[in-house]
Amino acid sequence: MNDGDVEHSGNETTATAEGTTRREFLKVLGVAGAGAAAAACGPPDTGDKLIPYLIPPDDIVPGTSVSYATLLTGAGPEPLAIHAQVRDGRVIKLEGNPSRPTGGALSALAHSSLQDLYDPDRVPGPRQRTANGLVDATWEDGIAAAGAAVAGGSTVLLTPPAVGSAARFYQEWAAAVGATWMPWEPLGLEALRTAHGIAFGIDAIPTYEINSSDHIVCFGADFLGTWLAPVEMGARFAAARMPGHGVQARFSFVGPRLSLSGLKADEWIPARAGTEVLVALALAREIASRKADGRAARVESVLDPFTLDSVAEAAGIEAEKLRRLADQVATAKAPIALPPGIAAQGPVATDMHLAVILLNYVCGAIGSTVKFDGETVRPRHVPFAAIADLGRRMSAGEIQTLIVAGVNPAYATPASLGFAEALSKVPNVISLSPHADETTSAAGWILPSHHELESWGDGLLSRDYMALAQPVMQPVFDTRQREDILLQIATAAGAADSFQAADYSGYLQGVWRELHDRLPAGAPGFDDWWYQALADGGVSLAVPPVTDVAPPLTAAAANYSFRATAAPADFSLITYPTVQFYDGRGANRPWMQEFPDAVTKAVWNAWVELHPETAGPLGVETGDLVQVRTEAGSVTAPAYVYRGIRPDTLAVPLGQGHAAYGRTAAGRGFNALDLLDGTPDQRSGALAYAGAAATLTATGQRGKLVIMQGSDVDLGREIAELINIDDVPDAMEHEIDLTTLVEAAYDSDPRSPYRWGMAIDLNACTGCGACVTACYSENNLPVVGEDLCDQGREMSWLQIMRYYEDTEEGFQAVHFPTLCQQCGDAPCEPVCPVYAAYHTPEGLNGQVYNRCVGTRYCANNCPYKVRRFNWFTYERPYPLNLQLNPDVTVRSKGVMEKCTFCVQRINRAKLDAKDEGRLVADGEIQTACMQSCPTQAITFGNLKDPASRVSRMAKGARGYRMLDELNTRPAVTYLKSVTHAAMPESEHGHGGDSEHGD
Amino acid sequence: MATAEIEVPTQELPSLADANRDISRPISTPYRRYWLLLGICGVLIAAAGVAWALQIRDGMGRAGINNPVNWGVYIVTFVFWVGIAHSGTLISAVLYLVRSGWRTTINRTAEAMTIFAVMTAGLFPLIHLGRVWYFYYLVPYPSTRLLWPNFRSPLVWDMFAIGTYFTISLVFWYLGLIPDLAGLRDKFTGLKKRLYGVFSLGWQGTVKDWSHYRRLYLYLAGIATPLVLSVHSVVSWDFAMGIVPGWHSTIFAPYFVAGAIFSGIAMVITITIPLRWAFGLDRYITKYHFDNMAKLLLFTSLIVGYSYGMEYFLAWYSADPIEMQSFLWRGTGFYAGPFWIMVFCNVVVPMSLWFKATRNSLKALFVISVFVNIGMWYERFVIIVTSLAHEFDPSAWHVYTPSLTELTILVGSFAWFFFWFLLFAKTLPTISIAEVKEHLAHEHEHGH
C-alpha cells in the first residue's frame, strides 16, 4: 500500500480524515507496513551513535520525527490518547493527540512514561529465581514452566484494569485456562462506583462537567492532580474559571488539607477529616429546605438530622462560613459538588460519596453538570478488599499460581496485610511486570512484558471514541507483549484451541474486524479503515445520543443511614497520592523524583505535613525529623510545616519508600501505606486512605528535606498577582502608548517579522507541572539528584513557583511558572564577555553553548533567576540516553543554559514556512510547555502580529510583566489570577489597572 | 605632606656602606627557616593545584557556588587580591609624585607585593571559569570566526584594566630595580654577576644614566597614578554595572578604591613587620614609616566605614523595598556573621589608630593589619554573596557555603603570593638601596 491509497481511504467514519492534507497526513504517519509497526529493525540501539542508522529503512527520513498515534493507559488515573514522537527509531517525546478534545495536553506522569520505557532498571529479559538468586533464562523454559503451573489449577491473574479488547482477552484467557482474573487499581474508583450503585442503581462513573458550572464545591478530590481525569478536568476547570466572559465559577474546597486542587479554591472550609460527609449533608439539607421542590421532599427525612450548626460543631468550622457557602450554592445557577477522591477516602468512603451525590441531587446538578451517559467507559476493577482477601487466601495456601502483570500489590497494600509474606506461600509466582518491583522480586519466574509504548492495545476514551495503541518502537529489551506471553502460557497449558489468533495483534484485529462489521454500508474496507485508525489513534463510533442523563434516586439512597466516624484523639492522618508518584509508579523515574511537589515544592523524598500551630509547640521546623505513629506502624520523616492543613491533621504523600523497583526509587522517603491498618470500607471495599488516628512526636533531630523554593511569599514585590473578581477591569485591552510600542518593536530586529512572546494566565495555572516535565523531555534537561538540588543546582528551565497570597480570611496559592522572560533589554546579554548570550533578531535571548566559557555573570545579572549552569557533566545511564532529543544540544560541564522558547521548534516552523513562501502562522508553533498544559494557561506567538492570540492576551486587562520596574521589557506577560475571596485593602491597592475602568 | 616633623627617626643613621651591606645581606645568606617556609608554600600551592585540576576534570560543582549565588570565594578572593595590589602603586607612584619621603623604604616591597598580588588575583578569573580551556575567547584576537569579545561586558574591561595595571606596575618596579641590580652585579661574581648584569641593562651610574632614569621614572609614575583609581573602579563595575540589589550603586568605584588602598596598606604592614624583623632592617624601616602607614590606614578605614553607612542610607533613601530588604537581610540574615566580622575588623578595630601609642606599637599594628586583611576579605564576601543570595525573586533565594575545594584554593592563593614574595626577598633588595642611599646622603648632609 502506498501513501496515496491511505489518503484516499479517509471517510466520514473517521474523525479527522476530512480536510487532512497530504502533508499533515505524513506528519501523523500511521504504520504503512503490514503489521510491522516498529520503525526500526536491526541490532539493539545503545545510544552511542549520533546517527543510529547507517542505511535507514525506506520510510525514515533521518533528522525528522515521525508521530505515531497511540494510547497510554498506565500514566495516572485516565487513559490518554497520545502522539509519540519517534526519531530514527527511538521515541523521544510524548504529546497529547491533538485531534482529541484535550489537544496536546498531557500530565507530568505521562511525559515521564518515557523514562519508564527507558528505565535502566527494567528486567532486560526472562529470569528465573534459583537458589543462586535471579539467573538468566530462556523464554521457552519460562513459558513452559508457567504453562505447567497454570495447568496445575487454582491460578489468579492480577493485572491493572484493562480497557478495550484486553478486558475481553483476559476474561477469555482466564476462562480458557481455568484461572481467576483480577484487574486491580490501587487508587481505584470502587467507592464512587458503589455509591452511584446505591443512589441510582446503575454501575457508572459520571462525567463532571465543571466547565459549565458556576460554583464548584469540592469535598476532597484532587481532580486537578490525581483523581479521575486530571487532564480532562484541568481543561474543564480552566473553562469554568475564565474571567472576563462575565462569570468565573466560584470554587470552595471542603476538607482538612489543601491539595493541589484545593490551593486553587476561593474559599477553604477546613472540615475535620471524616466530617466532609456531614458538611455535604448539611449543605444538602439547607439547600433542600430552601428549594422545597420534589427532589428536596424525597431526601428530607434522610437529611433531617444534619443541621448546619450541629455539623459545623462536629466539623470544627464556623457555622457562619458554612451558612454562607449554603447561600452561595443555593443561589448558584449550576452548582456542582465533587466527591472525596482518594485523599479524603476514609473508612466510610461510600457514605461520603453518597452524601455528595445527595448534595448534587438536591441542588439539581445530577443531569445538568453531573451527567451519566449510560454505560461507563471506565474499566471495572476489583476493590481493595478483594486484594486483601486474595492475600488471605494466598496465606492459607489456597492459591497455587499467581501471575502478576503490571500491578505491585506487595507495595501498594498496607504492610499490615502481609501481602509480601503471603507471596511466599504461593508455590508459583510468575511476574509479567517489566520492572523488578516489590512483587516481582518475590516471583519465581520473571517473564518481562513490553512497555505500553512497545505494545498493541485499544480502549474506549469516551462513549463515542475507541482509541488504538500500537508499538511505536522496537522493544528496548528482550521483552514480549503481555498478552502474547499469556497466549503462549495458555498454549503451554494446553488451552491453545481457545484462541484463533496466533498473537495479540491478530486478536486485536479480530475484535476490530467485529467493530468494522457494524459500520454502515459504504464504509471503507477493513484494511483502509484499520490503517486510518492507526494513523489517527482511533475511530469515532456512531452511538446514539444519551437521553437519560439524570437517573432517578433510589429508595435505598433516600433512606440511607449514614455512618459517622469518631474524631481521633490526637491527629487524623491523611495519605494522599501526588502528581509525580501517583500510586508509586513514578518513583523510579528521575524526572518525577526531581519534580517539585505541587504543594510543598519538595523533591526526592517523602515528608509529614503539619500545621504551624502543631509544629510551634513541638519546636519543629520544616526539615526536622518527626515520628508519626498509628496502630499499624510508625515512620520517622522530615516535617513540612504547611499552613494549608488543619492543626489536628497530619498528611503524608504516597508513592515513596520502595524496597525494590530500581536505583532511583531506592531509599527514598517512606511508604505511607505502612501507617494504614488496611481496614476497608464495608460497603465498597475501598481502602481508607484518610482518617487513621495518629500520634506525633518530635525527635529533635534534623532531617533532610530539599525544598525547591526560597520564599513562599513575594513580599509585596508584585511578582505573583491575585486580584478580586470585582477588580478585574472591564476594558479588555490596555491602552498602549506609542513609545512602548516603538521600544517593543526594537526588542527584535526591526526588519524581522517576528518578536516571539508568551502569555501565561496565572488564573488558569493549577501547578500540575506537566509543562515542567514536558520541558525536561523536549530540551534534554539533566536530572541532578537530591544533593545537588539541595545545593541549588537544579537544571529545570521552567519552574512553577507556588506563592501564597493572603486574602481577607485566609490565603490562596498563585502558581507562577518562571522561565526565561526573553527580555527585550536583557540584563544577561551585555555582561557576557564572549557573546555567548546574545539577542536574536527575533527578540530571543539566545545562548550559544559552544561559545560559553562559564563566567556565570549572566546568571548573576538575571533578575528572574532562570539561567542554569552545568556544574557537572550529568550522565544518563543507558538506555535513558535514547530519549534525548537530537534537535537540542546535550550540554556538558561549564556551560550556561536556559529556555529559548523551544527555539528548535521555532526554527522548524520557520523552515516549513520558508519552503512554502509564507510567514509562520499564529498557533503554528507550540512550545513544549504550552502544548502540554491541560488548562492552556500558556500562549505563545508573535508579538509583532497584533492579531495573534499572544498579542491580544499580552494587551489584556489582567496582563502585567514580572518586575516590570526594571525595564527589562520581558516577552512574557503574566495574567493576574482572579479570586472571589475578598482581598486585604492594604496590599494590592491597584496602581494602573483599576484606573483603566474609570 | 608635612610628615617630617611628626616623627623623627630616633636611631642612629646608618652609613651608606651599612645600607649597601644590610639591605643586600639576605640575598647572599640562605637560612633553613627560609627553605621551610618556601616548602610549606610549595605544598599548599600543590594542594590548590590538585583542587583546581579536580575542578577542571569534574566541573565547577566542586566549588560550593550554586544558582543564584554564581560567584563565591573565587571572585571574593580575586577582588581581595586586586585590592591588595593597590597600595604598591599608591606608595610608589603617588607618593613619589607628591614627594613624600616616607615611601622610600617601603616602596620596593609594596611594588613587589602589587606584582605578586596581581599575579595571584589574575589566576582567579581563570579558576572561576566554567570552561577555562576556552579562556582565550576573552582575548581580542583575530579569530577565524570573526568574533571579538563583547566590549560592553565589564569582565572585558576588567581584563584590560588589570592587564594594564600589571604591565605598568611590572615596568615601574623593574625600572626602580635597575640601579640596585647594577649594585648587585658589582657585588657578586660568576653566574649571579652575569644574571644581575643582564637585568641591570648595562647601568653605569653616570649622570646621563641617572638623568634618563629619573625622567622615565617620573613619567611612569605619572602613567601609573591614574591606574590607582582606574583598576579598582573597573573591578567595582563588575558589580555596579550589574542590576543585582546590593551591587547596583554609583558609590562603588570610590568605595572600592578606598577599600583597596585600605587593604593594600594593611597588607604592606602585615608583610613589612616580619620582614623588618627577619632581615634586621630596623634602621631602615622605622616607626616613622609605620606611623605614616597607620595614619593612611585610619583614613581609609574612615572612608570605608562611611561607605558602609552610605550603602544603608542609599538603600533606605531609594525607598525601594527590594533594595531595603536586601540590606536588612545582609545585617540580620544568614550572613549576619560575615557582615559583623567585616564591620568589626574594618571599622571598629582601626579606630584604635587614633592613639599614637597604638600607631607606635608594631605588635598592635601587626594585629590590626591582620584584622583589616580578614575584614576586607569578608567585605568582598558580604558584597558579592549576600547580594546574590537575596535578589529580586524571593522564590529563587538560596544561600551558599564555600566548599573544601574553594577553601583549599583560597589558602593556596596565599601560599602562591608568599612563595613569590619569598623568592623576591631572597634574590632582590627588598628596599631600594639607591633611594635609601640618596635619602641617607641627604640626611647626613643636613643632619637633624
Domains located in chain A, CATH noted = 3-122+452-540 (no CATH), 127-188+379-446 (3.40.50.740), 190-371 (3.40.228.10), 571-707 (2.40.40.20), 722-996 (3.30.70.20)
Nearest alpha-carbon partner for A736 in A956, A961, A963: A956
For A867, nearest residue in chain B (alpha carbons): B67
Q: What angle do CA A78, A79, A81 make, to 5 degrees?
A: 135
Structural domain includes residue B1? no
The total number of structural domains in chain B stands at 1
Q: Are A8 and A2 in contact (CB under 8 A)?
A: no
How high is the pLDDT of residue A145?
96
**Stretch B354-376: mean pLDDT:** 95
Using the Cβ of B385 and the Cβ atoms of chain A, whether some distance falls under 8 Å is answered with no
A90-96 and A80-87 strand pairing: antiparallel
Chain B nearest C-alpha distance from A962 (Å)? 9
How high is the pLDDT of residue A1?
37
How high is the pLDDT of residue A733?
55
Chain A nearest C-alpha distance from B136 (Å)? 9
**Stretch A162-188: mean pLDDT:** 94
Beta carbons within 10 angstroms of residue B320's beta carbon: 14
Average pLDDT, chain A: 89
Please give the C-alpha separations between residue A423 and each of A147, A404, A665, in angstroms, as whole numbers: 19, 11, 22
Chain B nearest C-alpha distance from A45 (Å)? 28
Helical (H) or strand (E) element with A266? none
Residue in A788, A793, A865 nearest the CB of B393 = A865
Q: Are A66 and A60 in contact (CB under 8 A)?
A: yes
How high is the pLDDT of residue A548?
67
Please tell me chain A's helix, strand, coil percentages from 3-state DSSP, rounded to the nearest 5.
30, 20, 50
For B61, nearest residue in chain A (alpha carbons): A871
How high is the pLDDT of residue A301?
92
Sheet holding A465-469, edge to edge: A457-462, A465-469, A538-540
Using the Cβ of B57 and the Cβ atoms of chain A, whether some distance falls under 8 Å is answered with no
> Which is more confidently placed, A956 or B291?
B291
B376 has pLDDT over 70: yes
CB-CB under 8 Å, B137 with A710: no
**Stretch A369-384: mean pLDDT:** 83
* Least confident segment among A604-613, A632-641, A720-729, B20-29: B20-29
Residue A45's pLDDT band (cuts 50, 70, 90): low
Q: Are A834 and B143 in contact (CB under 8 A)?
A: no
A312 has pLDDT over 80: yes
Cis status, amide bond into A43, omega within 30 of 0: no
What sign has the CA pseudo-torsion A36, A41, A45, A51? negative
B196 has pLDDT over 50: yes
pLDDT > 90 in chain A, percent: 77
Structural domain includes residue B362? yes
Gap between the Cα atoms of B317 and A79, Å rounded: 59
Query: In angstroms, how far is CA A558 from the centroid of its own chain?
Result: 36
A866-888 per-position pLDDT tens digit: 999 999 999 999 999 999 999 99
Q: Which cell goes with B269? A: 604592614
Using the Cβ of B134 and the Cβ atoms of chain A, whether some distance falls under 8 Å is answered with yes
Q: Are A847 and A900 in contact (CB under 8 A)?
A: yes
Residue in B59, B138, B243 nearest the CB of A861 = B243
How high is the pLDDT of residue B5?
41
CB-CB under 8 Å, B394 with A791: no
Residue B59's pLDDT band (cuts 50, 70, 90): very high
Chain B 297-356, residues with CB within 8 Å of chain A CB atoms: 321-322, 325
**Stretch A41-51: mean pLDDT:** 58
Residue A946's pLDDT band (cuts 50, 70, 90): confident
B417 has pLDDT over 90: yes
H-state helical runs in A501-634: 504-517, 526-536, 555-558, 590-593, 612-618
A738 has pLDDT over 60: no
> Which is more confidently placed, A615 or A57?
A615
Q: Are B183 and B438 in contact (CB under 8 A)?
A: no
How high is the pLDDT of residue B11?
56
Nearest alpha-carbon partner for A466 in A547, A554, A542: A542
For A816, nearest residue in chain B (alpha carbons): B395
Which residues of chain B lie closer than 8 angstroms to A963, CB-CB?
392-393
Q: Are A686 and A582 in contact (CB under 8 A)?
A: no
CB-CB under 8 Å, A801 with B135: no
B236-268 per-position pLDDT tens digit: 999 999 999 999 999 999 999 999 999 999 999
Structural domain includes residue B9? no
B317-336 per-position pLDDT tens digit: 999 999 999 999 999 999 99
Structural domain includes residue B240? yes
Please tell me chain B's helix, strand, coil percentages from 3-state DSSP, rounded to the nearest 5.
75, 0, 25
* Least confident segment among A37-41, A223-227, A384-388, A699-703: A37-41
Report, in angstroms and rounded to the nearest whole number, the Rg of chain A calculated over CA atoms: 28
CATH code, domain with B125? 1.20.1630.10
A499-551 per-position pLDDT tens digit: 888 899 999 999 999 999 988 888 899 999 999 999 999 999 888 877 767 78
A199-256 per-position pLDDT tens digit: 999 888 899 999 999 999 999 999 999 999 999 999 999 999 886 555 789 999 999 9
B218 has pLDDT over 50: yes
Q: Which domain holds residue B305?
A: 16-140+148-446
B92 has pLDDT over 50: yes
Chain A nearest C-alpha distance from B228 (Å)? 24
How many A/B residue pairs have CB atoms within 8 Å? 167
For B149, nearest residue in chain A (alpha carbons): A834
CB-CB under 8 Å, A896 with B130: yes
What distance, in Å, lies between the first and last C-alpha atoms of chain B? 19
Using the Cβ of B139 and the Cβ atoms of chain A, whether some distance falls under 8 Å is answered with no
**Stretch A611-635: mean pLDDT:** 96
Residue A89's pLDDT band (cuts 50, 70, 90): confident
Structural domain includes residue B328? yes
Residue A929's pLDDT band (cuts 50, 70, 90): very high
ipTM value, please give it.
0.94
CB-CB under 8 Å, B147 with A711: no
CB-CB under 8 Å, B243 with A863: yes
How high is the pLDDT of residue A990?
41
CB-CB under 8 Å, A860 with B395: no
Helices A504-517 and A482-492 sit at what angle, rounded to 10 degrees? Answer: 110
Residue A9's pLDDT band (cuts 50, 70, 90): very low
How high is the pLDDT of residue B188?
86
Residue in A832, A895, A962 nearest the CB of B130 = A895
Structural domain includes residue B185? yes
Q: What angle do CA B420, B424, B426 make, to 5 degrees?
A: 120
Residue in B70, B134, B391 nearest the CB of A856 = B70
Structural domain includes residue B8? no
Sheet holding A335-338, edge to edge: A267-269, A250-254, A215-218, A335-338
Using the Cβ of B149 and the Cβ atoms of chain A, whether some distance falls under 8 Å is answered with yes
